[in-house]
Copies of this chain bind each other. A is one copy, B any other.
Amino acid sequence: MTASLPDIDALTLAEQVAQMVVVRTCGYLFDSQIPYPEWEATTATMQHLVELGIGGVIFLGGSAAELALRTQQMQSWAKIPLLIAADIEEGVGQRFPGGTWFAPPMAISQIARTNPQLAAQYAETMGAITAAEALAVGINWILAPVVDVNNNPDNPVINVRAFGETPSVVSPLANAFIKGAQAYPVLTAAKHFPGHGDTTIDSHVDLPVLAHSPRRLAEIELAPFKSAIASGVDAVMSAHLLIECWDVEYPATLSAPILTGQLRDRLGFTGLIVTDALMMKAIASRYGTNESPVLAVEAGADILLMPSDPKGAIDAVCEAVKNGRISKRRIRESVERIWQAKRRIGGIKIDPSKIALELSQPEALATVEKILQHSQVVRGKVPLTPTPKGYNLIVVDNLLGSSKFLTEHSPAVALPKSLGYTTWLCDRHTPFDPTIETDNLPTLLQLFIRGNPFRGNTDLTQVGINWFKTLLNSGNLQALIIYGSPYILEKLTPAMDFEIPCIFSYGQMPQAQTVALHVLFNE
Secondary structure call for the A interface:
mixed
Of B391, B398, B425, which one neighbours A408 at CB under 8 angstroms?
Answer: B398
Of B35, B63, B413, B510, which one neighbours A65 at CB under 8 angstroms?
Answer: B63
- Per the bound structure, the CA–CA distance linking A436 and B35 in Å amounts to 35
- Per the bound structure, the CA–CA distance linking A97 and B33 in Å amounts to 9
Residues of B within 8 A of A97 (CB): 33
Q: What string of 1s and 0s marks CB contacts (under 8 Å) between A387-400 and chain B?
A: 00001010000111
Asked if A72 lies at the interface with its beta carbon under 8 angstroms from chain B, I say yes
Q: What string of 1s and 0s marks CB contacts (under 8 Å) between A408-424 and chain B?
A: 11100100000000011
Residues of B within 8 A of A434 (CB): 431
Q: What string of 1s and 0s marks CB contacts (under 8 Å) between A73-114 and chain B?
A: 100000000000000000000000110000000000000000
Residues of B within 8 A of A398 (CB): 408
- Per the bound structure, the CA–CA distance linking A32 and B31 in Å amounts to 29
The answer to whether A425 touches B409, judged by C-beta atoms less than 8 angstroms apart, is no
| One of A227-235, A314-322, A352-360 at the interface | A352-360
Q: How far does the Cβ of A121 sit from chain B's closest Cβ, in whole Å?
A: 23
CB-nearest residue of chain B to A423: B429
State the number of copies, please. Answer: 2
Q: Given A29-B64, A360-B30, A430-B425, does the pair A352, B98 have CB atoms closer than 8 Å?
A: no
Of B356, B425, B511, which one neighbours A69 at CB under 8 angstroms?
Answer: B356
Q: What string of 1s and 0s marks CB contacts (under 8 Å) between A340-362 and chain B?
A: 00000000000011011001100
- Per the bound structure, the CA–CA distance linking A36 and B410 in Å amounts to 11
Of B33, B73, B356, B410, which one neighbours A43 at CB under 8 angstroms?
Answer: B356
Of B69, B73, B98, B436, which one neighbours A432 at CB under 8 angstroms?
Answer: B436
**What number of A residues sit within 8 Å (CB to CB) of B?**
53
CB-nearest residue of chain B to A438: B431
In the complex, besides A30-B356, A32-B365, 18 extra interface pairs with C-beta distance below 8 angstroms are A29-B65, A29-B98, A30-B359, A33-B97, A35-B408, A63-B66, A65-B66, A72-B353, A393-B431, A399-B400, A400-B425, A401-B408, A403-B403, A403-B407, A424-B431, A430-B431, A431-B432, A431-B434
A-B contact pairs, 16 of them (CB 8 A): A29-B65, A31-B360, A32-B360, A63-B66, A65-B69, A352-B352, A391-B431, A393-B431, A400-B408, A400-B410, A400-B413, A400-B425, A403-B403, A426-B430, A430-B431, A436-B436
A interface residue numbers (CB < 8 A to B)? 28-33, 35-36, 43, 63-66, 69-70, 72-73, 97-98, 352-353, 355-356, 359-360, 365, 391, 393, 398-401, 403, 406-410, 413, 423-427, 429-432, 434, 436, 438, 510-511
